[in-house]
Amino acid sequence: MNTTTDPFQERSEAAVKDKKLRANFLSAMNGLMEKRDLAFDDKTQLEALRILGAQVRQNSLVKLPELLVELETKLIQKGVQVHWAQTPTEAVDIIQSITLKEKATKIIKGKSMVSEEIHLNDKMEQIGVECLESDLGEYIVQLAKETPSHIVMPAIHKNTAEIADLLHEKTGIERKEDALYMTEQARLQLRQNFMEADIGLSGVNFAVAETGTLCLVENEGNGRLTTTVPKTHIAIMGIEKVVEKLEDTAPLLSLLTRSATGQPITTYFNMISGPRKEDELDGPESVHLVLLDHGRTQMYQDDELLDTLRCIRCAACMNHCPVYTRIGGHAYGFTYPGPIGKILMPHLEGLDETQSLPTASSLCGACAEVCPVKIPIPDLLVRLREEANHPNAQSSNVKGAGVKRRGMEPVIWSMWRWWHQGGTRYRLMTTTLSRLRFLQPGTLSPWTNTRTLPKLAKKTFHQQMNARAKK
């Protein structure tokens, strides 16, 4: 086997050789696919709902600049402090500034992939502020000093025995391979932290411009505690999460929960509309919203790549992806793994940093078939492959375009086109190749590491057909 210096390929090869990891993912993905299939038992209704969901997201994106302004206005009227961040560094600076102003030393976090996107925990630790994850899956990966391997189920790469070992080692609880027992023990340990935390930080699933409402979908109740118990609540979201009207959330919520976990609805659907009022008994004294761009505006400027921003983070594309199922989330090496990560991360980090991701797909189309908002993921992957070989990076809407373009490659393809455009030239080329077939190399690494190299024929296709016609 040929060795490679590509970090993604190295991680993928290691993951494929890890039998336990593959078994964990295969079991988990099979279960999630079955639950989704049962949740959408009426396929006609499913298709109608997908069309509606896609229209809602498309409408939100078409009106995105206006809706963001409307959202900000409504939130300010309700007492929410709105902050805009162009980059992850700016977002971290804003949150650190709020933390220092509040003299906070502990933040309790609900689930937020955008906070993972800006590496918030590490940045806060650098200024002496503890960030504690309260989502059970996030809590497990934090104890293991890992990153989420799945955007909905962060610890899905671990089986029950591994989690029992981890909780016993890190928290001292009795080792029991009992999911209910481990969940109860984790909740007991987290409960006091909600009371002690100075700040609660959460993500946002949908932000309604019409009403100035931040919607948070969750199952464990940790999101509600995070956003109501500490005296300060900070919400962070990508700018694409805004929708126009409150009624828009209904089809998106139905698609999100059933696509993600097979549930008709989650246990909690939090609607946050501002800090505690004078006559209210609970809730935070102050609420902040951080709106993060991080490459989304650049994506927004391209009529085709814009479709990436429709995503509602259900992870159905991951659950049905044959590549993700075999290598897991950590092999990708970025915040968002799987098919959505392959079309999103090149915009967030640049194609020069993520050039392997668009090609890590068989283009089987399973991701597009299950996407609840009908994102044409395979088409976008092909587009990003083209962007990686873009002849004029300055005219591209993708950061790092042209990173895979090599000097001789366009010359070779130009010669290939020239040969195929003339009948005489084509016959001369194929005849020459068939006569020089003894010079053909035996391997073409790394392509032939897992494939058999086809051999050039002794006679060209035309020669064979002419011979057959004479018989």
Residue 71 pLDDT exceeds 60 = yes
The residue whose two tokens read 């900000």 is: 72
Give me 60's structure tokens. 């939100």
Residue 43 · residue 36 · CB < 8 Å: no
Residue 3 pLDDT exceeds 60 = no
Q: What's the mean pLDDT when you consider all of the chain? A: 94
Q: What's the rounded mean pLDDT across residues 329-349?
A: 96
Q: What's the rounded mean pLDDT across residues 34-50?
A: 96
Percent of the chain residues topping a pLDDT of 70: 99
Instruction: Report the Cα 114 to chain-centroid distance in Å.
Output: 10
- Is the torsion defined by CA of 326, 332, 333, 339 positive or negative? negative
- Is the torsion defined by CA of 225, 227, 233, 235 positive or negative? positive
Exposed / middle / buried, residue 144 (Cβ in 10 Å: 0-12, 13-18, 19+): middle
The pLDDT tens digits of the residues spanning 353-366 come to 999 999 999 999 99
Residue 209 · residue 70 · CB < 8 Å: yes
Q: Which of 203-207, 395-399, 434-438 has the lowest mean pLDDT?
A: 395-399
**Whole-model pTM above 0.75?**
yes
Q: CB within 8 A of 88, min separation 6: which ones?
A: 117, 118, 119, 292, 294
pLDDT at 59: 97
Cα angle 271, 277, 283; round to 5:
55
pLDDT at 407: 82
Task: Report in angstroms the alpha-carbon separations of 376 from 54, 206, 340.
Answer: 11, 22, 10
Q: What's the rounded mean pLDDT across residues 153-163?
A: 95
Residue 1 pLDDT exceeds 60 = no
CA 221/CA 203 separation, integer angstroms: 14
Helix (H, G, I), strand (E, B) or coil at 215: strand
pLDDT at 455: 87
The pLDDT tens digits of the residues spanning 422-448 come to 889 999 999 999 999 999 988 887 788
**Residue type present at position 12:** S
CA 208/CA 214 separation, integer angstroms: 6
Residue 4 pLDDT exceeds 80 = no
Cα angle 163, 167, 169; round to 5:
115
Exposed / middle / buried, residue 354 (Cβ in 10 Å: 0-12, 13-18, 19+): buried
Q: What's the rounded mean pLDDT across residues 288-308?
A: 96
Residue 323 · residue 361 · CB < 8 Å: yes
Q: What's the rounded mean pLDDT across residues 100-114?
A: 96
Residue 194 · residue 245 · CB < 8 Å: no
Residue 116 · residue 238 · CB < 8 Å: no
pLDDT at 5: 62
Bridge partners for 81 per DSSP: 288
CA 218/CA 247 separation, integer angstroms: 19
Task: Report in angstroms the alpha-carbon separations of 88 from 13, 100, 238, 333, 355.
Answer: 31, 18, 11, 18, 21
Classify residue 220 by its DSSP letter. Answer: S
CA 313/CA 369 separation, integer angstroms: 16
In terms of DSSP bridges, do strands 268-272 and 213-218 run parallel, antiparallel, or are they unpaired?
antiparallel
Q: Per-residue confidence at 331, pLDDT binned at 50, 70, 90?
A: very high
Q: What's the rounded mean pLDDT across residues 195-219?
A: 97
pLDDT at 435: 92
pLDDT at 2: 41
HSE, CB side, 13 Å, CA atoms: give it for residue 209: 19
The pLDDT tens digits of the residues spanning 273-285 come to 999 998 898 899 9
